Structure 1
């Protein structure tokens, strides 16, 4: 099976929340369990350094390489999860 080196084949919103909390914590006023799928990361209190850390953790855990502008192009959790799953799918199909 191609892509069998991956420990996971799908990146979920729960994965994103866990990685955000592990890497950068949560802003006091933000409930990551709330309806935040379409909220911008900046609004949620995640600045560029926190997002770089998050991206690095995603790359290591899921065995992918993210484009430098992945967070700029995908400023919300929903769009980021979709983009990461597209990267995972491309890796498995390669």
Structure 2
């Protein structure tokens, strides 16, 4: 997988996890509650995750859970942004 593909995959995982938690990242950024740099950092943290396949499986099974998996490297950010 190329670096570009890796970033796209993890950007999708971050966005899907946010959606599962009821967070609209675009709207949250527009309202000023998160910066584009924080979202970029979240994607980069996600690329360091050893469990992207597990995360993708989790997201395929769970809809609007309100919880992140314990291994999620963005738990703190998502907890801060969860409505």
* TM-score of the superposed pair, with normalisation by structure 2: 0.34
Structure holding more helix per residue: 2
* TM-score of the superposed pair, with normalisation by structure 1: 0.32
